[in-house]
Amino acid sequence: MLTVVFGLSGALVYGFADFLGGLASRRIRAATVTALASVIGIVPLLVGLVVVGGSFTGAAVLWGAVAGASGGIAVLLLYRALAIGPMSVLSPLTAVFAAVVPVLVAVLRGTALSGLAIAALVVAVLAVVLVAAVRDTSGARVTAGGLVTAAVAGCGFGGIVLAYDQAPSDSGIAPLVVARVLQAVLLAIAVAATGRRGRTGGAADPGTSADVVESAAPPKRSVRGARWPLRLLGTVVACGLLDAMANVFIQAGLHSSDDPTTLPVVSVLNALYPIGTVVLAGIVLRERLSAVQWTGIGLAIAASVGLALA
C-alpha cells in the first residue's frame, strides 16, 4: 500500500512540475526552463542531504550518475521527437515505454506477478495512453525517426526508475543529488549549444516541457533578453522544487518494500504523471478534459486500487 501511495504521489508531483514548466515555456525557451529547474532542484536535495543524510558510496554515485545521464538524454530526445512529429502520438508513446521498460526488466529478473497485478498494470498503461492523449494541430506527420526517438526517450525515463531501484537502500538521497547535478550539467551544455546554433541560423527550440498542456489563451510575448517578472521566476523555481520532490517520492516508493513487484508497480504509477498536468490545467487554465482523458483518469484510479490489493 505504501508503495502505491509513494508512486502515485511522485506521479502527481511530476505532473504538477511539468504543468508549471509548460507555463514558463510560453515566455522563455523550454530547454532553458528545464535546465534552470534542474539547477534549482539541487538546492532542496542538498538541504535534505544535511537533514536526512546520505551515503556517497561507489554504488550510490554510480547509479545516481546513471539516473542523471539517462534523464538528461531522455529530455533532449523528447524535445527532438516533439520537434519532428505529432505530439498526440509521440507523447503517449514515450510515457508507455517509460512505464513498460522497468516492468520488462523486472520480469526478466524473475519477478512473478499475480493475475490481479498483471491486469492492473495493463489497465494502468492504457490509462497512461488515454490521459496523455492531446489534440495536435501542428499538421506534423508520423515518421519512423520520430517514433524511434520517442521510444528511446521513454526508455531513458524508464532508466531513471531502474537506476534508483539499483541504488543502495541505505544511501539516502545521495543518488538523487548525483543524478540532479549531472542532469543539470548536461542540460546546461545542451542549452548553450542550441543557443549558439540559434544565433547562427540553426534549429529552433523544439517544444515545450509540458506536452499535455494545451491552453486556448493567446501566446504571450517572449521575455528573452529582458528582466524576468517575479511570477515567471516563481513558476520556474516551483517547477524545480516539485521536480526534485517527485524524485524523492519515486525513490522512497522503490525502497519502501522488499517485495520484488515494487519496481514494476512504481514504474507504471510514475508514468501516470500526465494526470497531475491535466488536473492543474483544468483548475488554473480552466481547460476542459476530454472524455478520453476522463476515461484514462478513471482507469488509473481502478488500476491503483488493483495494485494496492495485489
pLDDT digits (tens, 9 = 90+) for 24-44: 888 888 888 889 999 999 999
Find the length of the chain: 310
- Per DSSP, the three-state class of 54 is strand
The one-letter amino acid at 152: V
0.85 exceeded by the pTM? Answer: no
- Per DSSP, the three-state class of 265 is helix
Give the count of alpha carbons within 13 A of 65, CB side only: 7
271: cell is 508514468
The low-confidence residues of the chain, meaning pLDDT below 50, are: 198-222, 225
User: What pLDDT is recorded for position 111?
Assistant: 85
Helix (H) or strand (E) holding 305: helix 291-309
User: What pLDDT is recorded for position 223?
Assistant: 52
Q: What is the CA radius of gyration of the chain?
A: 18
The residues near 131 (Cβ < 8 Å, ≥ 6 apart) are 212, 272, 274, 275, 278, 293, 296, 297, 300
User: What pLDDT is recorded for position 138?
Assistant: 57
User: What pLDDT is recorded for position 227?
Assistant: 66
User: What pLDDT is recorded for position 260?
Assistant: 81
User: What pLDDT is recorded for position 193?
Assistant: 84
User: What pLDDT is recorded for position 208?
Assistant: 40
User: What pLDDT is recorded for position 197?
Assistant: 54
